Amino acid sequence: MNPARAVMRRWSAITLFFFAVLGLVIVPTRLPALPQSLGDLDEDGQATVLDLVRLIDHINSRTLLSAALQPYADVSEDGLINVTDVDLLAELILGIPLPPNTRSVALEPASGSSEVGVTVRPKATFPKPVDVSTLNSNNFYGSFAGQKLPASIVPANNGTFAWLYFDPPTPNASQIMVTVDGSTIRTKLGVPLDANGDGAPGGLIQFNFSTVSITPIPGTVLAGRMVDPGPDLRPMTGDDFAPGPDGMTNTTDDVFLLPIAGVTVFLLGREDQRVFTDSNGWFRLEPIPSGNVKVVTDGLTATSPHPGFYWPEMVMDAHMQPGITNIVMAGMETMYLPRLVSNILQTVFATNTTMITLQSNAAYNLSPTQQQYLTVEVMAGSLVGMDGQPLASAQIGVSVVPPELVEGMLPPGLLQHTFDITVQAMGVSTFSTPAPMTFPNVFNAPPGAKRGARRGDYLNNRSCFEEMITRSRSVVQCVYEPT
């Protein structure tokens, strides 16, 4: 580069102020500048090897980029600064242009979804990270019959997505519209968001979904019984079950030795109609809606908790037939609640990033070597409460559970699963920065192989599969979002 040209470029951003008062002269002052394009990290107007060095130094935590420069280091515009950006920046330096980003805003639940729960919290994923301070009720909102629904906007810390927390819940049996207007939403580079993916800044996109009915139908009943699997954690073994007088199992005279009294049972969207299990573990809800419902069972309210363990809250999908007595899971009038040891719960403070590890007494059948690889990393400042507000702290833990306890809860056709875990995030609705999670490589998958992890998204009435990448012969990794 011509030295004179470099000097001129450097000083072109300098404003000279000459002000003489009693002989005082104010010297030249350089105004702060920002890059004009992705990958330009030294503000010289072009992507060079010097920018690549700065990017690598930032990723390796040798010399961190300022907060103002970091959006320009996210060359892929995915909200992360990692090796993908290094590859793209290297291509830019070689003269290979960035691939066009023509993605539009994506919504969960997807447009056209039906029987969505009334407690739904729609999640909009943006094609580029946005300045979250520009999100408001005029450019990101839900509506019904042309009227906006009261909601709080809960953005991701890195601006890649945001939720709508409706309060009160959405109307039932209704068509809900979610609108994202990119004309007043700014990306982190300061330009209007291309919401509809037409290649032009700005643009508006709308999504529609329908909610379930929660109107009760006379004569429609939900009944069942809650029991404990006992110290061995497995259902229908000698510590919790005995055959009845006929000497056979799975008949009407079976004896369940450990009923749980005081478990709260209700349907999502009908929280005011809740019942408690009796001394024999039985409950009965009536009248209730027909169709798809989400049944909540809260073992934390049990009247006789045991020292050292507890029964968690669970949410299960069920389909109710009108005018009859229904059960939660087909052929399973009696349901087992997992027994979880209390010491899995670890206090997490929002001020720090915290690594949650597996306690040995919550590992079930994982070997000591495998146990060390089951982790959840809760990022600083990521705890969000049930009302959408940030939490200062929370109790979070992880435990392995016997597969027999969850087989009846799996979607039809999903019968093969390697092992099952529960992540307990007490009082946490979600993480505003998704939590990286690692699993032991019980699949014996080679490095780089992909596997799927299922989680239940009960608020939106769907099952989600998270892609897991095998890091090594020991570890598989994905990210976790509670629902």
pLDDT in tens, 282-311: 999 999 999 888 899 999 999 987 789 999
The first and second tokens of residue 130, run together, are 């946005």
**Which of 295, 321, 337 is the last residue in one of the domains?**
337
pLDDT of residue 254: 86
Question: Mean pLDDT over residues 97-112, rounded?
Answer: 90
Pick from 134, 128, 126: nearest CA to 72:
128
Residue 235 CB-density burial (10 A; 0-12 exposed, 13-18 middle, 19+ buried): buried
Position 317 confidence tier, pLDDT thresholds 50, 70, 90: confident
Indicate if 346 and 475 belong to the same structural domain.
yes
More reliable by pLDDT, 77 or 121: 121
Q: Burial code of 96-122, b = ≥16 C-beta within 10 A, e = fewer?
A: eebeeeeebbbbbbeeebebbbbbbbb
Residue 153 CA to residue 459 CA, distance in Å, equals: 17
Residues 265 and 311 in one domain: yes
**Inside any domain, residue 216:** no
- Mean pLDDT of the region 75-85: 88
Residue with tokens 């990286």: 436
Is pLDDT of 8 > 50? Answer: no
Tell whether 249 and 372 lie within a shared domain: no
Are the C-beta atoms of 162 and 137 separated by less than 8 Å?
no
The candidate with the shortest Cα–Cα distance to 431, out of 115, 155, 180, 247, is 155
Q: Which residue has the tokens 């306890």?
A: 405
Q: Are residues 309 and 434 in the same domain?
A: no
438 with 370, same domain: the answer is: yes
Rounded CA-CA distance 478/321 in Å is 38
* Residue 4, pLDDT score: 34
Residue 465 has pLDDT above 50, yes or no: no
Q: Residue 477: is its pLDDT beyond 80?
A: no
378 plus 467 within the same structural domain: yes
Whether pLDDT at 246 is above 60 = yes
Same domain for 390 and 471, yes or no, is yes
**CATH classification at residue 421:** 2.60.220
pLDDT of residue 9 exceeding 50, the answer is: no
pLDDT at 457 over 50: no
Residues 347 and 476 in one domain: yes
Q: Is the pLDDT of residue 166 over 70?
A: yes
This prediction has a pTM of 0.80
Q: Is the pLDDT reported for residue 472 higher than 80?
A: no
Per-residue confidence at 35, pLDDT binned at 50, 70, 90?
A: low
- Of the two residues 465 and 379, the one the predictor is more confident about is 379
Q: What six digits make up the tokens of 302?
A: 């049990």
Rounded to a whole number of angstroms, the CA Rg of the chain reads: 27
Last residue of one domain, picked from the residues 337, 372, 400: 337
Q: What is the pLDDT of residue 12?
A: 32
CA distance 359 to 104: 42
Position with higher pLDDT, 162 vs 29:
162
Residue 206 located in a structural domain: yes
pLDDT in tens, 393-421: 999 999 999 888 877 665 555 555 567 88
| End-to-end CA gap in the chain | 54
User: Quick one: pLDDT at residue 27?
Assistant: 38
Q: Can you tell me which residue has the tokens 């066009």?
A: 100
CB atoms within 10 A of CB 164: 24
Per-residue pLDDT at 19 exceeds 90: no
Q: What is the mean pLDDT of residues 192-196?
A: 96
Closest CA to 152 of 121, 179, 182: 121
Of residues 299 and 475, more confidence is placed in 299
Q: What is the pLDDT of residue 467?
A: 52
Amino acid (1-letter code) at residue 439: F
Alpha carbon 40 to chain centroid, angstroms: 33
Average pLDDT of the chain, as a whole number: 84
CA 396 and chain centroid, separation: 14
CA 328, 334, 336, 337 torsion-angle sign: positive
- On whether both 399 and 441 belong to a single domain, the answer is yes
Poorest-confidence range of 1-10, 94-103, 270-279? 1-10
pLDDT tens profile 201-232: 999 999 999 998 999 999 999 999 999 999 99
Closest alpha carbon to 415 in 404, 424, 423, 427 = 404
Work out the pLDDT band at 77, boundaries 50, 70, 90. confident
Say yes or no: 248 and 188 in one domain.
no
Question: Looking at the predicted structure, is the pLDDT value of residue 455 above 70?
Answer: no
The pLDDT, as a whole number, for residue 174 is 96
**Structure confidence at residue 426 (pLDDT):** 93
- 27 found inside a domain: yes
β-pairing, 313-320 with 291-298?
antiparallel
Asked if residue 436 belongs to a domain, the reply is yes
Judge whether 391 lies within some domain. Answer: yes
- Which stretch of 153-167, 177-191, 392-406 has the lowest confidence by average pLDDT? 392-406
Burial profile 125-135: b = 16 or more Cβ within 10 angstroms, e = fewer:
ebbbbbbbebb
- The pairing of beta strand 334-336 with beta strand 221-227: parallel
CATH number of the domain enclosing 72: 1.10.1330.10
Residue with more model confidence, 197 or 479: 197
Q: Is residue 265 exposed (0-12), middle (13-18) or buried (19+ Cβ within 10 Å)? A: buried
For residue 67, name the pLDDT band (cuts at 50, 70, 90).
confident
Domain presence at residue 230: yes
pLDDT value at 479 more than 70: no
Query: Residues 6 or more apart from 61 whose CB is under 8 A from it?
Result: none
Distance, CA of 24 to CA of 442 (rounded, Å): 75
The last residue of a domain, from among 65, 93, 121:
93
CA distance 74 to 196: 21
Question: What residues make up the domain containing 283?
Answer: 224-337
129/56 same-domain check: no
What is the pLDDT, as a whole number, of residue 389? 95
Look at residue 377 in the predicted model and tell me its pLDDT.
94
Taking alpha carbons only, the member of 379, 380, 393 closest to residue 351 is 380
Confirm whether 364 is domain-assigned: yes
Higher-confidence residue of 319 and 350: namely 350
**CA–CA gap between residue 232 and residue 239 (Å, rounded):** 7
Average pLDDT over residues 59-86: 89
For the chain, how many helices (H) and strands (E)?
A: 5, 33
User: Does 219 map to a domain?
Assistant: no
What domain count does the chain have?
4
For 41, 44, 75, 89, the CA distances from 92, given in Å and listed in that order, are 13, 15, 10, 5
Residues 301, 240 within the same domain: yes
